[in-house]
Structure 1
Amino acid sequence: MHRKRNHNIALILIGAGLFLLADNHLSFFTVVALFLLLIGVHKFHSGDERKGYGLMIIGLLLLVGGNLPMIVAIILISLGFFYNKMRKMHQDGRHVRKQSLIESIRWGREPWILRSMSIWNVLGELQMDLTYAIPEQKETTIILQGVIADIDLIVPEDVGLSVSASVLFGQTSIGYDKEAGVLNKMVWQSPNYRTAVHQVNLEISYIVADIDIKIV
C-alpha cells in the first residue's frame, strides 16, 4: 500500500512538472542563475558568508524573475523522481527519509550513527565525515537528490564504496577521478567493495551540484 501511494504521488508530481514545462524553456539567464546559486553555496561553505549570501540572492532573483513556473516545474519533477525511487526501494523501520526546501547537514565532528537514508532538497549543503560514523548495518544505502547542492563527503579507505552520481550542471570528484561540465554521470566503485566489512552505496542526483568525495 505504501509503495502504491508513493507511485501515485510520483506520477502526479512528474506530470504536474512536465505540464508547467510545456510552455517554458531554459534561458541563458536561468543557467547563469543556477551557477550563481551553486557558487554562492560553495562560498558560504568555505567561510565567505557575506559573498555567499550575495551570490545566492542574485541567483534567486534571476531565477524568480519571469521563471517561476519553470522553477516550480523542476522542483515537482525532481520530487516526483525521488518518490519513484523510494517506491522501488526496500525500506525497514530504520530507513530515514527527509524532504526539505533548504537543508544544511554537517555530520562528522563527533560520532554519529550511519544508517540507510534518503534526502531530497531544493537547496542543500551536505557534509558527512564517515570516519566518525558508526554503521548500523553491513550495507548502507544513501540517496541524495534535489535541485542544487554542495556535497562534501569523507570516506575511510577501509569502507567499500559504490557511487552513482548524475549532475546536469556542475562537477563530481571522487578520489582522483573527476567529471565536470554539462550532463555528467559518474559510476565508481572502490577495489575493496565486495570484501569490505562495511559497504556504502551512494546514489546522487541533482540539477546543479558540486560533489566532492574524498577517500582517506
Structure 2
Amino acid sequence: MDNLRNRNTALVLIGAGLYILLGNLIGYFTVTAILVVGLGIYKLKSGENRTGYVLIGIGLMFLALSHLSIVFAVILISFGYYLVRSNQLQGNPSYTQRHNILESIRWNKEPWVLQNMAVWSIVGEMNLDLSLAIIEEPETTLLLQGVVGDIDIIVPDDIGVHIQSIILIGQTKIGLEQQDGLVTKMTWQSLNYDTAEHKVNITLSYVVGDVNVTVL
C-alpha cells in the first residue's frame, strides 16, 4: 500500500512539474488545451466516442483561439493539398469541384447522380448512400478533403469500391475495421472491385474527422 501511495505521489509531482515547465515554455493555456485533446483521444480509445469528440473539439477550439496563425496555416496547407489532388480529376468532362467554408451533403434519401467530384471545406458533413447512386461511368473518383469532417458512406455489394482514408485526429471505421486516435490511415477495397461493372474510388483526408463506412 505504501509503495502504491509513494508511486502515485511521485507521478503527481512529476505531472505538476511538467505542467509548470511546459506552461512557462509555451503557455499554460496551450498546455491545458493539449491535455484536453489528449483526454479526448483517451476517451475515444475507451469507447466513449461522444465525450471524446467533445473534449477534442473543446481542446482544438482553445488552441485555435491562442494560435490563430497556426490554424490559418493548417487551413492553407489543407486547401493546397486539395488543389494538388483535385488536378487529377480536371480532365474529366463530368468533373465537379466544390470548396466552401461549410459544406453539408446529404445524398441518402433519394436517387442521385454519381459523378467525378472533389470537395473541400473547413467544416464538412457528408452522408452518401451509394446504393441510391445513379452511376453513369465505369469508374468514378470522389475526393473528399478538409479541416473537420463527419463522413458517413453506405457501400452496397454490387459496386466495386476502393477507399483510402487519412485522418490526423479522430476515428475511421470501415465495415468491421476501426482505427482511432492520432494519424489514422486506412485502405479498404471491396472483394468484387476487380470484376465489378462499376467502380468507385474514394479518397478521404481530414485534419479532424469521423469516418464511418457501412458495408452492406
Tell me whether the two structures share a fold, i.e. TM-score over 0.5.
Answer: yes
1:160–1:199 contact (8 Å) kept in structure 2: yes
Determine if contact 1:122/1:147 at 8 Å carries over to the other structure.
Answer: yes
Distance in 2, matches of 1:31 and 1:117, equals: 38
Distance 1:81 1:212, change over 3 A: same
Contact in 2 for aligned 1:112/1:133 (Cα 8 Å): yes
Matched, 1:101 2:101: yes
Range that drifts further, 98-107 or 59-68: 59-68
1:209 is displaced (CA, Å) by 0.6
DSSP 3-state at the match of 2:183? strand
User: In terms of Rg, which structure is larger?
Assistant: 2
Cα pair distance change 1:81/1:116, threshold 3 Å: same
Q: 1:194 to 1:68 in 2, by over 3 A?
A: same
The alignment status of 1:198 with 2:194, answered yes or no, reads: no
Contact map agreement 2:89 2:95 (CA 8 A) in 1:
no
Q: Which AA in structure 2 matches 1:171?
A: Q
Query: What letter is aligned with 1:207?
Result: V
Once the 2 structures are TM-superposed, how far is the Cα of residue 183 of structure 1 from its aligned partner?
Answer: 1.1
Identity between Structure 1 and Structure 2 (%)? 39
Partner of 2:70, secondary structure, is helix
Q: Secondary structure at the match of 1:182?
A: strand
Please state whether the residue corresponding to 2:184 is helix, strand or coil. Answer: strand
- Contact 2:36/2:55 (<8 A) preserved: no
Cα deviations by residue, 1:140-199 (Å, 9 ceiling, x for unpaired): 100011111110000111110101110111111111111111111111111100111111
Please give the residue correspondences for 1:55-94 in structure 2 after superposition, counting only pairs within 5 Å: 58=58, 61-94=61-94
Give 5+ residue unaligned stretches, structure 1.
Answer: 1-23, 44-51
In structure 2, C-alpha distance between the alignment counterparts of 1:101 and 1:127, rounded to whole Å: 18
Q: Which has the higher contact order (CA 8 A, sep 6+)?
A: 1
Q: Which moved more, 1:99-108 or 1:73-82?
A: 99-108
**Structure 2 equivalent of residue 157 of structure 1:** 157
The 1:60/1:208 distance shift into structure 2, 3 A limit, reads closer
RMSD of aligned Cα (Å)? 2.8
* CA distance 1:88–1:111, change in 2 (3 Å): closer
Q: 1:31 to 1:168 in 2, by over 3 A?
A: farther
Partner of 2:176: 176
TM, length-normalised to structure 2: 0.74
How far is the alpha carbon of 1:93 from its aligned partner? Answer: 2.5
Runs of 5+ consecutive residues of structure 2 not aligned to the other structure? 1-25
**Aligned length in residues:** 179
Deviation at 1:64, TM superposition (A): 3.6
Aligned to 1:111: 111
Question: How many Å apart are 1:55 and its aligned residue?
Answer: 8.0
